[in-house]
Amino acid sequence: MTALATRHGAVNLGQGFPDTDGPVSMLDAAKTAIDSGVNQYPPGPGVPELRQAIAEHRSRYGTEYDPDTEVLVTVGATEAIAASLLGLVEPGDEVVLIEPYYDSYAASVALAGATRRTVGLVEDASGRLGLDVAALTAAIGPRTRALLVNTPHNPTGTVFTRSELDAIARLAVEHDLVVITDEVYEHLVFDDASHVPLAALPGMRERTVTISSAGKTFNVTGWKIGWACAPAELLGAVRAAKQFLTFVGGAPFQPAVAHALRTELEWVEKLRISLQDKRSRLADGLRAAGFEVRSSEGTYFITADVRPLGFTDGADFCRALPERAGVAAVPVQVFTDHPEQWKHLVRFAFCKRDEVLDEAIRRLRGLS
Give the binding site for ligand GLN (CB under 6 A): 15-16, 154
- Which partner, ligand GLN, ligand PMP, none, binds residue 333 by CB below 5 to 8 Å per kind? none
Tell me if 198 sits within 8 A of 149, measured CB to CB. yes
Q: Which is nearer to ligand GLN, 27 or 334 (CB)?
A: 334
- Indicate which single residue of 108, 181, 213, 254 sits in contact with ligand PMP (rule: CB under 6 A): 213
Query: Residue 1 CB: number of other CB atoms within 10 A?
Result: 20
Tell me if 64 sits within 8 A of 55, measured CB to CB. yes
Tell the smallest beta-carbon distance from residue 40 to ligand GLN (Å). Answer: 28
At position 127, the amino acid (one-letter code) is: G
- Indicate which single residue of 42, 197, 215, 252 sits in contact with ligand PMP (rule: CB under 6 A): 215
- Which partner, ligand GLN, ligand PMP, none, binds residue 15 by CB below 5 to 8 Å per kind? ligand GLN
- Which partner, ligand GLN, ligand PMP, none, binds residue 182 by CB below 5 to 8 Å per kind? ligand PMP
Tell me if 152 sits within 8 A of 298, measured CB to CB. yes
Tell the smallest beta-carbon distance from residue 142 to ligand PMP (Å). Answer: 29
Q: Should residue 76 be labelled a site residue for ligand PMP when binding is judged by CB under 6 A? A: yes
Instruction: Give strand pairing partners of 150.
Output: 182
HEC states along 131-180? Answer: CCHHHHHHHCCCCEEEEEEECCCCCCCCCCCHHHHHHHHHHHHHCCCEEE
Q: Rounded CA gap, 236 and 336, in Å? A: 31
3-state secondary structure of 84: helix
**Which residues, numbered 5-24, are part of the site for ligand PMP (CB under 6 A)?**
16
How many Å separate Cα 162 from the centre of its chain? 19
Q: Which is nearer to ligand PMP, 23 or 298 (CB)?
A: 298
- Judged by the rule CB under 6 A, the positions of this chain that interact with ligand PMP are 16, 76-78, 102, 150, 154, 182, 184, 213, 215, 221, 224, 226
